Amino acid sequence: MNDITRESRLLETFVTLADTLVDDYDVVDLLQLLVDTCKELLDVSEAAILLADTAGVLDVIASTSESSRLVELVQLSAEAGPCVESFRTGRPVSVPDVRDVPAEWSTFRDSAVRAGFGSVHAVPLRLRDTIIGSLNLLRRGSSGLAPEDAAASKAFADIATIGILHERSMRETTILAEQLQIALNSRIVVEQAKGVVAYTRGVSIDEAFELIRAYARSHRVGISQVAARLVDRSLDLPD
Amino acid sequence: MTGGFSSAMESLERAGGNPGQYCRPFLDVFPVTGASVATVGALLGSETIAASDHLAARLDELQFDLGEGPCWDALVTGAAVLEPDLRDHQRRSWPAFRTAIAQDDVRAIFAFPLAVGPLRMGAVDLYSAQPVRLDRTQTRQADAMAAIVGRHVLRSALATVDRESEPSSTAYSRRLVHQATGMVLAQLGITPDDALLVIEGRAFAESRSVMDVARDILSGLLDFAPTDEGIGDAG
């Protein structure tokens, strides 16, 4: 992708995202769109967004792959690694070479090397003084993120934050906690729905997610809404 | 009686982990003298959890000791057991239990299973000093009420489990448990809450971690869906 194409694609994406934020939107859809866009437009292999629950524990809410390899790795990074570091400090954490990390991140490092990742970039999701999670970009090669990609990732993180929090509800911290809980709960229902589809259709958990997304897309409804209907059994995905 | 039934359901829902409130709603709705709630079998052992009177408690104790009676049948079959007249000599079930209660003021006895999905853990026993029949509607209502009690009993038992043996749950493991919950709710046609209870109950029954059981469900090793061989035989 040349620079002009890339710039116009980025612009296009931001317009789409801004449009989304005006309507009633599904937060799972929005975050999924964000990570997929990161993978498509930035020089990264995988992307994942994590949100903190009320106890401050970070949980994956959207990722470019549902494979346990990626999800487990990002969770490790959320326990001791760049992900939790960016969440704690509120600053982007760039790890150009995963082999080159502090000793206390060794579990994350080993897992990243095994999974074939060379570098990681973690951007906090923050609004003013409040940090609610982290956007994580993983690359196969070991070199830092290009400056323009780092800048774009910051913009993606901001959109994710606004999408989750709804600017106008930001005045009260109780509402903040509620908004976060709603986002996290909708992810729980998506996980349950993956189980339902995996069982009823006899497919893997990853394939189940793809089927749910495809149905949501073709019927123009949110992933969360499709998931809720799968879980209360009022919807069966057609063959 | 519909009003009586729905308010009885509400009272039972509200009862939560208070066994003292389990019996009264049954006495309010059905033409019986006494009620008791007992666990029997391997899952939670034999114990009277609640009884409306001494005779109700005695009927449970006798069944524990004798290893037979309506409560055991409800556990084994997972279905309501109805004995409208114990002196009907056509019936030959539970000879020792019948003999033991020959002098007691009991003419009719009923048992409704305590169960969550495929996990069966005991029964609600109702008795009457007079012969009495429960019709199909009453039987269905008693089943529904016993199901609520079953959830409370299982939840209370799980709450006492020593969680130290459980490996600390990570966000990733919780995710797998949610996925397994989805599989189980589809297998059994139950709510997500009940499906999670089934997973936790199975973990408890086998002294394993919830995570372990979730992995077995996701890999297909453990399937709760009813089969011809019985319910939840796999694993």
* Backbone angle region of B37, left / alpha / beta, with phi > 0 → left and psi within -120 to 50 → alpha: beta
Q: Is residue B228 part of a domain?
A: no
Which residues are bridge partners to A15 per DSSP? none
Which residues of chain B have a CB within 8 Å of the CB of A231?
182, 185, 192
Q: Is it the case that residue A167 has pLDDT exceeding 70?
A: no
Max CA pair span of chain A: 50
Shared-domain flag, residues B140 and B173: no
Instruction: Give the range of the structural domain holding residue A149, as residue numbers without chain letter.
Output: 3-169
Confidence check: pLDDT of B98 > 70: yes
Q: In 3-state terms, chain A is what percent helix, strand and coil (to 5)?
A: 60, 15, 25
Task: Work out the pLDDT band at B10, boundaries 50, 70, 90.
Answer: very high
Q: Give the distance, in angstroms, between the CA of residue B138 and the centroid of all CA atoms in the same chain.
A: 17
Nearest to B175 among A57, A191, A200 (CB): A191
Q: What is the DSSP letter of A232?
A: T
Q: Which chain B residues have a beta carbon less than 8 Å from that of A193?
A: 182
pLDDT in tens, B146-162: 999 999 999 999 888 76
Same domain, B145 and B39: yes
A114 with A203, same domain: the answer is no
Residues 6+ apart with CB under 8 A from B119: B43, B154, B198, B201, B202, B205, B232
B111-122 mean pLDDT: 94
- State how many domains chain A has: 2
Are residues A57 and A142 located together in one domain of the fold? Answer: yes
Tell which of A142, A169, A196 closes a domain: A169
Per residue in A66-83, is it b (16+ CB within 10 Å) or e — as a string? beeebbbbbbbbbbbbbb
Which tokens go with A26?
């599904």
Nearest-neighbour CA in chain A from B71: distance (Å): 33
* Beta strand residue intervals within chain B, DSSP E: 34-39, 47-51, 81-83, 108-116, 119-128
pLDDT at A149 over 60: yes
For residue A20, name the pLDDT band (cuts at 50, 70, 90): confident
If interface means Cβ-Cβ distance under 8 Å, which residues of chain B face chain A? 170-172, 174-175, 178-187, 189, 192, 218
Q: For the segment A60-96, what is each residue's pLDDT rounded down to a tens digit?
A: 999 998 887 888 899 999 999 999 999 999 999 999 9
| Boundary (domain end) residue, out of A119, A152, A169 | A169
Inter-chain CB proximity B174 and A59 less than 8 Å: yes
Distance of alpha carbon B74 from alpha carbon B55, whole angstroms: 20
Closest alpha carbon within chain A to B214: A195
Give residue B197's pLDDT band: very low, low, confident or very high (50, 70, 90): very high
A40 and A154 housed in the same domain: yes
Q: Among B110, B135, B159, which residue terminates a domain?
A: B159
- Asked if residue A5 has pLDDT above 90, the reply is no
Residue B168, judged by CB atoms within 10 A of its CB (0-12, 13-18, 19+), counts as exposed
pLDDT of residue B164: 53
User: Does residue B59 sit within a domain?
Assistant: yes
> What digits encode the pLDDT tens for the residues A101-148?
999 999 999 999 999 999 999 999 998 888 999 999 999 988 888 888
The answer on pLDDT for B64 being more than 90 is yes
Residues A15, A93 share a domain: yes
Q: Which pLDDT score, from 0 to 100, does residue B107 have? A: 95
| Cα dihedral value B173, B179, B185, B191, nearest 10 | 70
B224: pLDDT confidence band, cut at 50, 70 and 90? very high
- Please check whether residue A80 touches B, CB under 8 A: no
- Shared-domain flag, residues A139 and A186: no
Could you report the per-residue pLDDT of A98-107, keeping only the tens digit for each?
Answer: 999 999 999 9
**Best of B169, B174, B176, B178 to disrupt the A interface by mutation (most A CBs within 10 Å)?**
B178
Contact of B98 with B87, CB cutoff 8 Å:
no
Q: Is residue B232 part of a domain?
A: no
Looking at the predicted structure, is the pLDDT value of residue B235 above 50? no
- Using a CB–CB cutoff of 8 Å, tell me whether A236 touches chain B: no
Residue of A188, A193, A199 with shortest CB distance to B187: A199
Going by C-alpha positions, the residue among B112, B113, B124, B115 that lies closest to residue B52 is B124
Q: What average pLDDT does this structure show over A30-40?
A: 90
pLDDT tops 90 at residue A46:
yes
State whether B142 and B178 are in the same domain.
no
| d(CA A57, nearest CA chain B) in Å | 8
Q: Are residues A178 and A83 in the same domain?
A: no
Q: Do A193 and B182 touch (CB under 8 A)?
A: yes
pLDDT of B163 reads 58
Q: Are residues B203 and B120 in the same domain?
A: no
For residue B169, what is the domain's CATH number?
1.10.10.10
pLDDT tens across B20-32, in order? 999 999 999 999 9
Let me know whether B152 and B192 are in one domain: no
Closest approach of chain B CAs to the CA of A233, in angstroms?
Answer: 8
Query: Which segment of A9-23, A140-154, B48-62 scores lowest on mean pLDDT?
Result: A9-23
Most confident stretch, B90-104, B106-120, B161-175: B106-120
| Total of domains in chain B | 2
Are B152 and B182 within one domain?
no
Interface contact flag, A196 B186, Cβ < 8 Å: yes
Q: Could you tell me the pLDDT band of residue A164, with boundaries at 50, 70 and 90?
A: confident
pLDDT > 70: percent of chain A: 93
* Spatial distance between the Cα atoms of B23 and B221, rounded to a whole number of angstroms: 39
The angle, 0 to 180 degrees and rounded to 10, between the axes of the packed helices A173-201 and A205-218 is 110
Give the pLDDT score at A170: 47
Give the model's pLDDT for residue B119. Answer: 92
**Least CB–CB distance from A192: residue in B171, B172, B192:** B192
Give the pLDDT band (50/70/90) at residue B233. very low
How is A159-216 classified by DSSP, letter by letter?
HHHHHHH-GGGGG-HHHHHHHHHHHHHHHHHHHHHHHHHHHHHT--HHHHHHHHHHHH
Q: Smallest CA–CA separation between B15 and chain A, in Å?
A: 25
Task: Clarify whether residues B59 and B86 are in a common domain.
Answer: yes
Q: What is the average pLDDT across B181-198?
A: 95
| Look-up of token digits 């893997």 | A204
Domain region containing B140: 2-159
Place of tokens 């509400």: B10
Query: Is there a single domain that holds both residue A59 and residue A73?
Result: yes
A136 interfacial to chain B (CB closer than 8 Å):
no
Out of A65-69, A75-79, A173-177, B126-130, pick the least confident.
Answer: A173-177
Do B118 and B93 share a structural domain? yes
Q: Identify whether residues A56 and A103 lie together within a single domain.
A: yes
Q: Is residue A71 less than 8 Å (CB to CB) from chain B? A: yes
**A177 and A165 assigned to the same domain:** no
Q: How close B45 gets to chain A, by Cα (Å)?
A: 32
Residues A120, A206 within the same domain: no
3-state secondary structure B31-63: CCCEEEEEECCCCCCCEEEEECCHHHHHHHHHH
Cβ of A233: how many Cβ atoms within 10 Å? Answer: 14
Chain A residues lying within 8 Å of B192, measured CB to CB:
192, 231
Residue type, B56: A
Q: Of A112, A142, A169, which residue constitutes the final position of a domain?
A: A169
The model's confidence at residue B228, banded by pLDDT at 50, 70 and 90, is low
**A24-28, A200-204, B139-143: least confident range:** A24-28
Q: Is residue B209 domain-shared with residue B151, that is, in the same domain?
A: no
Q: CATH number of the domain that B110 lies in?
A: 3.30.450.40
Total-model pTM = 0.74
Task: Tell me the CA distances in angstroms from A200 to A160, B188, B196, B219, one per residue in order.
Answer: 33, 11, 18, 14
What's the confidence (pLDDT) of residue A64?
Answer: 93
Indicate whether B10 and B96 sit together in one domain.
yes
Distance between CA atoms of residues A22 and B199, nearest Å: 41
Residue where a domain stops, chosen among B107, B142, B159? B159
Task: Say how many CB pairs under 8 Å bridge A and B.
Answer: 65
CA nearest A155: which of A10, A4, A46?
Answer: A10
Residues A151 and A178 placed together within one structural domain of the fold: no
| Average confidence score pLDDT of chain A | 87
| End-of-domain residue from the set B112, B127, B159 | B159
Are A135 and A234 in a shared domain?
Answer: no
B209-220 pLDDT, tens digit each: 899 999 999 999
Report the run of H or E that residue B159 belongs to, with start and end. helix B136-159
